[in-house]
Each structure stands twice: as C-alpha cells, then as structure tokens.
Amino acid sequence: MGPAASLTALADVLQSALQAASPLVEYKQAQVGVSGTQLLVIPGSPGLVRFDAVSGDVTTVVELQLHARFAVRVRVNDAESFDDASVELPQ
C-alpha cells in the first residue's frame, strides 16, 4: 500500500488497522479522526491506552509523538514557573 493521499485517508487506514489489530473492544470500536493537521485516536472504551514500541521498531512511537516526554511551563494568574518541568504522555 502506498502513502495516503490525504490526512482523512490516513485516518481511515489507521482506523481500519486498529480495528483489525485485536478483538478487544478498545481496538474493535476505536475511531480515528482529523483535528486540524493532526490525527485524533479515540479508543473503543474508556481507560488507559498505551503506545509502546514493538520489537524491531523502537522509533515510530517516538517519531509520531505517541509516547514522549514534553517540556511544560505553568502559568497561573500571570505568575509563571520557570522550573525545569516535564510530563510524559500518555501516562
């Protein structure tokens, strides 16, 4: 299969692949949509969803930023924290 012609087409392909990946409801009822220039993946049931590297492919999860550590800056009522803070998503 060649590259998807559009983000919407890629969402359709990804949704089909997720739904075919497992008989679990988290996969079978998963939905993939487009939000601006990003894909939005909604699992088929609530709860923890993990994106982990698989054997032989340790870069895709990080390249797609499905599981990564992101720098954060906190601002509340015009007071801003400059501490070195980060969050790992998804948790």
Listed by start position, the domains of the chain span 1-47, 50-91
Per-residue model confidence (pLDDT) at position 32: 93
Per-residue model confidence (pLDDT) at position 39: 87
Per-residue model confidence (pLDDT) at position 57: 79
> Is 91 a residue whose pLDDT tops 60?
no
> Is 82 a residue whose pLDDT tops 60?
yes
Tell me the whole-structure pTM to 2 decimals: 0.57
Between CA 40 and CA 31 the distance in angstroms is: 8
Average pLDDT over residues 63-68: 70
Q: What is the DSSP letter of 52?
A: -
